[in-house]
Amino acid sequence: MAVGSGELGALHIVNGVRIGVASAGIKKPGRIDTVVFELAEGSSVAGVFTLNAFCAAPVTLSKKHLAAASSRYLLINTGNANAGTGVIGMADAEASCAALAAEVGVTPDQILPFSTGVIGEKLPIEKLVAALPAAVSALSADAWLNAANGIMTTDTRPKATSKQIEIDGRLITITGISKGAGMIKPNMATMLGYVATDAAIAPDVLQHMLDIAADASFNRITIDGDTSTNDSCVLVATGRAGGEQLTIAKGPVYEKLQQVINDVFLELAHAIVRDGEGATKFVAVEVAGANDVSEALKVAYAVAESPLVKTALFASDPNWGRILAAIGRAGVDSLDVSSLTVHLDDVLITENGGRAASYTEAAGAAVMKQAEMSIRINLNRGQHTETVWTTDFSYDYVKINAEYRS
């Protein structure tokens, strides 16, 4: 179950990136569960990772390798998160990097490993290593869709997008994929996300661009309020489109690139929400009139993650009292409830501390029945606005997570 068509447009080749997939049979025999990205020599690579203290072994190792060497390959497996696995898990992550390095002729620290799936179970490293030759043999420039399918877990459909822009007479491509449907409240970036461009961008500028893009997209979505142990997102710039390398995070070239990268990230983030586990609604929670970003996000997340609000959304029930209760417990200091307003799309439901005089149950119910809608809150106490995107809670959410390991 998902919201929207999920149709993907053309996924343009990024010069300097090749991708190969294979089946290691980590969780299900025959399922594509191993993905290898090959990055052109000299590519800039930036990453952001989960802030969960119980972060997975591949997250720790990727951060170490990213700081130590020029990354040439990304290695991703699904079906097993290799998290909560202690010393053995780190040894397995290191072994996977060593095996791929030997296969392709680079050093192990030039490999960034990523895993997603069940937490607390040992990675079947022998199966993963055995699948690497097939993944390497399959390396191709036009395998982005294969990769999008290969990194899925409880996702019901692949998530990918691609854009092209012209800068100084050169065609620049930005293509990306992501995965995620549950255990979603990024505290850095996304569950797993890989975006590449053939623009030439210096590493420090690329990291800055990634931080901005991730914060405005993946750090503004929530399915269930749970931050994963494995969240990772990588942005690659191969430089193969030619032109002078971007070395300063300002100016028209930077601004144009940043905007299109932001757009790619936001589309990938929205695709995760639309495919939230059991989702039947795609909901934007907008909080305006806040004193600062933190205040706006406190309120937005309190509403977006409230089980009572989310179940009302599933039932298409305009039980707006649940929204007010979530706002009230968000922890905003000295909140004047008589000054705030709440809308469902354009339907005003509360003002002056209570039900709006113009509100009717029929108008509220009509909005709640929509597959896509907004909850707009104005605190009327400042100039800051933030938006968080979320889903409802359906019967299927419980079923999917109750049966996750079966």
Catalytic residues: 190
CA dist 198 and 8 (Å) reads: 21
| Cα 366-273-283 angle, rounded to 5 deg | 25
Q: Which of 193, 144, 189, 160 is nearest to 6 (CA)?
A: 160
Query: What stretches of 83-182 adopt beta strand conformation (E)?
Result: 111-118, 159-167, 170-179
Q: Which of 369, 183, 368, 190 is nearest to 277 (CA)?
A: 183
Q: Give the residues across from 165 on adjacent strands.
A: 172
- CA-based R_g, the chain, Å: 22
Per-residue exposure over 41-59, b if at least 16 CB sit within 10 Å of its own CB, e if not: eebbbbbbbbebeebbbbb
H helix or E strand, kind and range, residue 236: strand 232-237
Question: Going by DSSP bridges, is the β-strand pair 232-237/282-290 parallel, antiparallel, or unpaired?
Answer: unpaired
Write out the DSSP string of 309-366.
HHHHHHTT---THHHHHHHHTS--TT--TTT-EEEETTEEEEETTEE-TT--HHHHHH
Kindly report the backbone phi and psi dihedral angles of residue 343, in degrees, each rounded to the nearest multiple of 5, phi listed first: -120, 145
Question: Going by DSSP bridges, is the β-strand pair 232-237/192-197 parallel, antiparallel, or unpaired?
Answer: parallel
CA dist 167 and 159 (Å) reads: 27
Q: Give the residues across from 350 on adjacent strands.
A: 342, 355
